Chains A and B, each alone.
Chain A
């Protein structure tokens, strides 16, 4: 029986859940594709607000380029801070998409069908956001191309020993693959759209995204094999990309960075924040567009279980770090972790620990997992916590270097950094808002697989 019959069961009655009519192929098409229409005042308000925030961030960035990185709060020894934290945060967000769409696809876990399109969009836009920060945290942001290996008259090449150089490859690869995966997945739906579209502009867009899809058997066959291939291709990236990002820190010998657990720890954290972000996106969408019957409570609950799992992994990593600091030989490491939990930045550490380890424990309760409002808030907190995790790892480790001489110079976030952080969210949602209006946010084609085939009425 298809999972959509659950939605109609009594279990939802009285939970304020909208009980959908039994879904047909037509109603599904209508429901999903109605999203793609001329946007209303609500959408425009949100969109303009978003652009306003983005504008402020751009002013701040211009300011920084003209006057120098000094307008941000960096000091010696804290030479990296919020910008790099944002980078890692957004790369992390970008992870869940591939996980949901690719890995769950390979595992044939069908609950992904309703949610993977949103997750994939989030992935692509997340990488697009993350990719900004390595550039704008530079002292001379007009020279980022020097990090790319190209033959120049200077006859010099980048330093392939530097983890930052590895980042260049990791992130660009991930962007390429995830966007391909995203675009390929859209093809059938885009074709359906194209056939329905009246507005010529829309038709043009959809024509481009449908790559001349006709829906013939042959095309379906190729489509699925290609899709499977891309899924298999993307899966290892989920692990590799964030491992490489984690090595920016693990490869340095700074106490608090120089640790072998970082790769798995970061990957888990990435999925953790990513899934939380998916939930944060889905809940408003299904509520706003009345799609509770497509993205059901069960889907969300399954995702929230993923959140719970990864949260425990992250929590374990936190504890193990402290254990190995205490158990290990390095006095620097020991001193740092003690300071991290009790020193100047203890508040950040405890925000991180509460949001990422303690609060998610409530997800052990089914009632919590199925309560959309509470779940939304929890996931929000998880994302706050995950941003602070990056902040704690970067700033506290740097603020406590080997030589006591440099202690006590503490980093303070400047308004420029604040504006640019807000701007990164504005940037991300700008893409997302356009996406929901331009392309099908849910995979019509795949959901249809779960519907009963359309039967002609019995002849009398």
Chain B
């Protein structure tokens, strides 16, 4: 498969994007270290450090922005700079787009795992179910890539798509009540629990750590369903856009 040979270079290009690395890896590390300094080992009544909750939120929050590299790469490869060249090549462009998405998800998950390792071994936050957390991080990363791509494919102007994706990320963080408490309205309550991917994954991790497997799987499955639905939307919108823009 010719596309496989491009995967290595896609990964290298993603790694070379230093600003994204700074924003999605260094900034959370600095923030969580700051939190750990500020909270300095304080524990709740149940013996769980206060640091656990912010750590979980931070790791998952930054997964919301993991789709930005995917969006940028697909836009520059298939829609603007290298469009003509890519369409001349003997590779299947859909497969190439999928390979970029896959690389982006792997990259995002990798950053998340590095964060988890850092918090566990340097700051002493115990993550109980590693595989479950990694599964949720993967779901969040896929969802983020899909949402970013839907925005990019649906909207003509790239800048607007960028803004919309930022609104998606910051909006859901806001709606999860991480900056200040949301008003007590039905809509906000829904968006603060089952309508919000951030809160869904937080709930899933929390429930699993308390061994309520059914509730945890319930939250995770809502996330999975949303991901699949949006994936199908992306395929439809993408095909239409691609057909329309064919050189």
Q: Do A and B come from one complex?
A: no
Q: Which residues of A contact B (CB under 8 A)?
A: none
